[in-house]
Structure formats: C-alpha cells, structure tokens
Amino acid sequence: MSQEILQVGRLSPAGEADIQAAFKVSLLSEQADPETFLVSEGHRFHGLITIAPIGASKTLLSKLPNLKVIACRGIGVEKIDLDIARDRGISVSSTPDVLTDCVADLAVGLIIDTVRKISAADRFARSGKWRGGPFPLATRVSGKKLGILGMGKIGSAIAQRALGFQMEIRYHNRRPLSDCPYPYESSAMSLARWADFLMVAVSGGPHSRHLVNRDVLAALGPHGYLFNISRGLVIDEDALLESLQQKIIAGAGLDVFTDEPSIPSGFMECDQVVITPHIGSGTHETRLAMERLLLDNLLSFFSTGRLLTPVLESH
C-alpha cells in the first residue's frame, strides 16, 4: 500500500519485515534528529505504529497533522492520548486476546516462584550457602485462596489455571459479571482480606490508579502475597515497598512498575520479591501474533476504513 507509516518503538525482526513489505515505514529511532524529522516530515504519515510502553503523547500527535490511525502492539493504551485521537478523528487499535495465555502463564509462574521461593532458592544454591545448611521452608501453593482483581479475559485465564492447583477463587470488578462462576467481592479491600494470594489483572488508566493502596495491603496481611501483571500504576509502590519492608505482607511477584524501566531500589533488597521486566507477552509466538494482528488492523483500516480490534474507531 502507498500509505506512509511512522513507527515508534521496535518490533521483532520478523514482524517489522512483514509490515515493511506492506507499507512504507519510517522508524523514528533511525532518524539522526527525531524532533527535526517530525517537524519537517510529520505531515507525510497517515498511520502510526507504537507499543504499549511508549504509546502516543499529545506532543507526538501534534506533529502528525494528517494521522488517521494508530496501531498499538499491546492491550494497554493508557499512554495513548485518546482524547486527542477522539477529537481529531484518529482511529486506534490494540492487540487483545492473542497475549492472554502467555500473560496468564507468567502470572501463575510468579505465584509459584514467589511463594515456593524458587528464585531465592536458586540464589541460595548458586552462592554455596547450601553447604552451610538447608534452605528455609517456603509456603504451599496448592489449595490456597486466590483473589483476582480484574476478571477480564486474562483474569479468567489465570483462574482456569489456578483451578489445576485446587485453589478457591473470588474476584472483584467494578461490577459483578452475570456469567462468572466465581464469587464476587464488593471491593478490593474485602477481596484482599479474604485472599491468600491477590492477583492484579485490571486494565490500566485513571480508574485503577492506586487501586491497591496501604489499606488493601494491610487487609492482605502478613501471610498474604501480592502479584501484578497489569500496570504499575494500579499499585501504590511506596505503600507496597513499605509493606514488604515492614512484613505487613509476606511477599510479591511483580512484572510491571510505575516508571518502567526504572525500578525503586528498595525492591531489589527484598528477597521475598520476584521481579520480572514486563515480560507478560514476551514469547516469540505471542509477539509475532500481536504484530500480525497489528498489521491486519492497518491493512483492514486502509482498505475498508474499519479496524479488526478497535479501541477507538472514527467513522
């Protein structure tokens, strides 16, 4: 197709090759002076490819006056200025569903690693400390109470996996789901108070900012564990670090942070915390599927005017 596309944020080599075979793509990161390039050449672009951690700011969009569509690799679009997009009639797509299984797999992996202390045990064995005595006992995973904060598609996939560990499941959403088989808790606080493990799987955005605060962490308690595979801003990080340092909760498994890739140094010093660098969708198979869906959205938009997986669609 003849439409020109601006790309911010790198994709996989295979994904980029497929997109470049279909469109004329300019990579912002390859420009000698990106700001000067945007000022002089921004008018050329009708499409924007981005990734969830970067999004599309008001400043960037202001330099793309003829933009018609934003295609985002990822399901989090809180870093895309949707108000500007809506006002200017810019359509926006994301890549839902294709990453559900891998994110849910990682969520369960974080539970097992954190609660059974696998990473800590690995460090213990590698350091030679085993010669001085056995590794301390950990906590059982099977049969525990799992509270899922956000019973969307990813939350549901996590629940399905947790059933294999004979876990009891409850959830909290902004409203109960009529077709959900699990009991509903009326607040994040009551869910935390009930749960052994609290899994954060809500969507990011202003509605969920600091949904997990000091009170929720206190309700989770000294034998409870927190896990986050959604967005860093959902948790009050200062409160979480304080809760870990003061043993208000037992531990945490965290794939996301507020100011990625920066991680507050205090978390590094907490041996009861497992940290991963936002790798929920980070498998070859899933990233390729996400990028294929991103491309299919662009192809559909420029041929029919419609997106396959719209977040915001202008007619």
Active site residues: 231, 260, 278
For 35, 38, 153, the CA distances from 62, given in Å and listed in that order, are 12, 10, 34
Closest-CA residue to 266 (of 232, 241, 233, 236) = 241
Residue 59 Cα to chain centre, angstroms: 24
**Residue count of the chain:** 315
> What are the DSSP calls for 96-152, one per residue?
-STTHHHHHHHHHHHHHHHHHTHHHHHHHHHTTGGGGSPPPP----TT-EEEEE--S
- Other C-beta atoms closer than 10 Å to the C-beta of 31 total 14
* CA 82 – CA 92 distance, rounded (Å): 8
